[in-house]
Amino acid sequence: MIELRGLTKRYGKGNKTATALSDLNLSIQKGEIFGVIGHSGAGKSTLIRCINLLERPTEGEVWVDGVELTKLGKGRLQEKRRKIGMIFQHFNLLSSATVYDNIAFPLRLAGTPDSAVEEKVKDLLALVGLEGHRNKYPAQLSGGQKQRVGVARALANDPDVLLCDEATSALDPQTTDSILRLLLDINRQFNLTIVLITHEMHVIQRICDRVAVIHGGGIVEQGAVTEVFLKPKHEITQGFIRGEAQNDGQLQAAMRTVPGESSQAVKITFLGEKTYGSTLSRVARETGVNFAILQGTISTIKDVPFGQLIVRFEGSAEAITSTVLELKAQGLDVEVLS
């Protein structure tokens, strides 16, 4: 659906250039929600703005739906851009226009007759839950409501792709959640491809199918969110996911101290139905080891439940080894910690 090939973007001229993207390749499938995460300055905004050529790449190709946008003339590009909606961190609404006129704007620009505009805006207002607000001005709306107007405006010309440029970064956690739920609904209802950039892993965790981690203008890791989230490989990714928890001094101490017995700390990852199963206690009973839970999380990645436990097994070395082997045989992921 979206293919970025050998994308390089340099800002500036002569010997005063800054390279924001460097020979970047990316492929996004139709109907998926694809997240790009990175720290400030990593190149996220440049990347997303290159997809609709708001920013022209210095080198490389941008393909959307089988068409190379980087080769199109002005007229054809404008036509293609209508099928790529975009929402922004600070909403970018026209402050002097009502909610209705903001949403109608791209329809009028595309030459839609007034009666069709009326009908379409009515449908969009219902879709984003703003039926009672059509005559209000942006200043009379909350941040979440403004972003709902942004979403409605972006969907006005029935796009195939929705680009979200840090769309929830200016919102509080509850409002963020409601906007993410709206994006998920829209994705499912219309099979709309969504590309979002963010610096917050919980946004990726909540709605994305796949994720790419960008650093220094290149992609350092990408894959299914379950894969990247539970087994991050690159240190930048690990930093986004692990935060402070595992550097906790108390945890380190708890992993080591069991006087007079052999012990081993392990990290066990449960995914899907296994998250709520009793495999761990069953296996431990069979092998005769005891365990202490040192740290634990149970949450979901999109709709998939997962759990991650750090436990310390206590018992003979053989019993601990067979516990680890049996847990793996039962389909759990077990990492022996040093």
Ligand X SMILES: Nc1ncnc2c1ncn2[C@@H]1O[C@H](COP(=O)(O)OP(=O)(O)OP(=O)(O)O)[C@@H](O)[C@H]1O
Q: Does 239 bind ligand X (CB under 6 A)?
A: no
Of residues 174-203, those binding ligand X (CB under 6 A) = 199
12 binds ligand X (CB under 6 A): yes
Residue 56 touching ligand X (CB under 6 A): no
Binder among 38, 85, 159, 307 for ligand X (CB under 6 A): 38
Task: Choose the binding region for ligand X from 44-52, 77-85, 227-235, 254-262 (rule: CB under 6 A).
Answer: 44-52
Q: How far is the CB of 163 from ligand X (least distance, A)?
A: 13
Applying CB under 6 A, does 232 fall inside the site for ligand X?
no
Q: Does the footprint of ligand X cover residue 168 (CB under 6 A)?
A: no
**Member of 41, 113, 243, 288 binding ligand X (CB under 6 A):** 41
CB closer to ligand X, 17 vs 252: 17
The interface region with ligand X, picked from 36-44, 102-110, 140-148, 184-192 by CB under 6 A, is 36-44
What contacts 26, CB < 8 A, 6 or more positions away? 2, 3, 4, 7, 47, 212, 219, 222
Distance CA 177, CA 173 (A): 6
Least CB distance from residue 169 to ligand X, whole Å? 9
Least Cβ distance, residue 50 to ligand X (angstroms): 9
35 near ligand X (CB under 6 A): no
Interface contacts to ligand X, rule CB under 6 A: 11-12, 18, 20, 38, 40-46, 199
